[in-house]
Structure 1
């Protein structure tokens, strides 16, 4: 499993490198990258999610999906509490950005390609539960954390997002067992296949705009990345391994989603609410690069814990 993750993350790193080259050679501008990012988030990701529900109804799938909802909520709640313990408020420190980055992952951009590569449609099927819980919490706690004010109107907007609509429609087609016509299913299948390369190239273009030398000198970034990519995921792995009745696909899907690099959304929210968006972008860049090493390590550690506990 760990070797598979390493292989897939190396492929993603190469694709990210393609994105960096495209940015440096001006093939993709910053404005174009924003449009590509929207296309991935609002079209490609929802298609991948919807197509994961185009599968035969099985009771075990429903059971595992509901279990993933419950565990995802518990995991994200626990991670929020851990972030307040590990990232203490201090004068001159970007506490809110660091806490946000240590809690919220790129579970869509990085999570979907990885889970799809390892567990295919069934893995993405379970991942939709994590993504649903993630969206509900990030648009409440996450927005409040970065903005410094309560804005519960954002919660309502979550239910109109393409991702949630795709999950809702997907659930209907799954439970009613509505199968798409072959031509439509094949067309959406082609869109589904571009998810990984497009997501990684967009990440690469974003990384290319970061001041790498300056970023490498900020040791606080390493601390936040260490928390997000290794410490917190390993802490989460222990109870997940100890709890009985959890299938490996469910457990590993939640872990991969949790151990994915810091969410790019932190940068977007920081821009919107006047926070230090450069620092948020630096954490995102560092976390994305380091995750190539840390994701296989987290999986390997979980496999080891499964054997000894």
Structure 2
């Protein structure tokens, strides 16, 4: 219960930051060029720093096992989401942008700062597992959906800054190498900037959304209902039925992080791909905006149910 309340509180705090970003554009304090700058700082500085710093742990078998559990759960979730999306599509006839919005979540920009604030910086270690799996699929399966063709961009996977940060962080972890204090301290400070800057970016982008169109789009409510409630509840049920949280001493917390990533709003990457390849970018942005708005209610509820039964 305390964790769910803490989560709701932190999501509320993040929405205040979103509001600040929204106001900065509306009052012309900043422009969308500044938004691009903030995005670059988050992508190339704050995110990698947060990931690398999270791997600065003592090498133990428990942590290795925990990371492997998170990876296995993350793979299972993506397989489940892909299969369920295809099955549901037979009934609801989803377009490819809707499929991608259902499968892929905003697991990086939202979950890393959320886990840092509600749990600890060290638990970001397990966020990296979900991100690693999702990045590989985003540049293969997701891209092929949006482009309406089979695509495999291996260089984009290996060259992704987050994947490089995970590889570096994992190497330091496995070799039991600790960063010098000045570097470690600098990385902690820069990683801590990720939450506010990410939320500013979201708010700045949402300032350009037509909310009348968002709330009037009935189809988007269906997609968001499945994305934020139905699919995460299926994951939660599988975790509980299979009792995966009992496999390791920290299994409950590790799987909660994975569940948070699975229950997050639709990935902003889907909107970016949709704009880049001219495949229903308007629909993608509406789904993204609505899922961000409603996750303040759904994510704490999902976690509350998980903590009650786990």
Query: Above 0.5 in TM-score?
Result: yes
Per mean C-alpha deviation after superposition, the further-off stretch among 260-269 and 296-305 is 296-305
- Equivalent residue, structure 2, for 1:165: 164
Shift of residue 129, structure 1, vs aligned partner = 0.8
Shift of residue 87, structure 1, vs aligned partner = 3.3
Shift of residue 89, structure 1, vs aligned partner = 7.5
- Aligned ranges 1:61-72 → 2 under 5 Å: 61-72=63-74
- Equivalent residue, structure 1, for 2:221: 222
Query: Are 2:276 and 1:272 aligned?
Result: yes
8 A contact 2:101–2:266 mirrored in 1:
yes
Per mean C-alpha deviation after superposition, the further-off stretch among 122-131 and 255-264 is 122-131
Query: Are 2:288 and 1:284 aligned?
Result: yes
Task: Structure 1 unaligned segments of length 5 or more: list them.
Answer: none
Residues 219-275 of structure 1, C-alpha deviation per residue, up to 9 Å, x if partnerless?
Answer: 111111111111100111111122231511111011000101001111110111111
Query: Are 2:142 and 1:138 aligned?
Result: no
Query: Are 2:267 and 1:263 aligned?
Result: yes
- Equivalent residue, structure 2, for 1:207: 206
**Matched residue SS, 2:150:** coil
What CA distance in whole angstroms lies between the structure 2 residues aligned with 1:43 and 1:202?
A: 15
Shift of residue 86, structure 1, vs aligned partner = 2.4
- Equivalent residue, structure 2, for 1:78: 80
What CA distance in whole angstroms lies between the structure 1 residues aligned with 2:91 and 2:263?
A: 24
**Matched residue SS, 2:292:** helix
8 A contact 1:68–1:130 mirrored in 2:
yes
Shift of residue 172, structure 1, vs aligned partner = 1.1
What CA distance in whole angstroms lies between the structure 2 residues aligned with 1:149 and 1:155?
A: 16
| TM-score, normalised with respect to structure 2 | 0.94
Find the partner of 2:37 among 35, 42, 64. Answer: 35
8 A contact 1:88–1:95 mirrored in 2:
no
Shift of residue 156, structure 1, vs aligned partner = 2.5
Find the partner of 2:6 among 4, 7, 16. Answer: 4
**Matched residue SS, 1:109:** coil
- Equivalent residue, structure 1, for 2:28: 26
What CA distance in whole angstroms lies between the structure 1 residues aligned with 2:190 and 2:162?
A: 15
What CA distance in whole angstroms lies between the structure 2 residues aligned with 1:162 and 1:241?
A: 34
| TM-score, normalised with respect to structure 1 | 0.94
- Equivalent residue, structure 2, for 1:106: 106
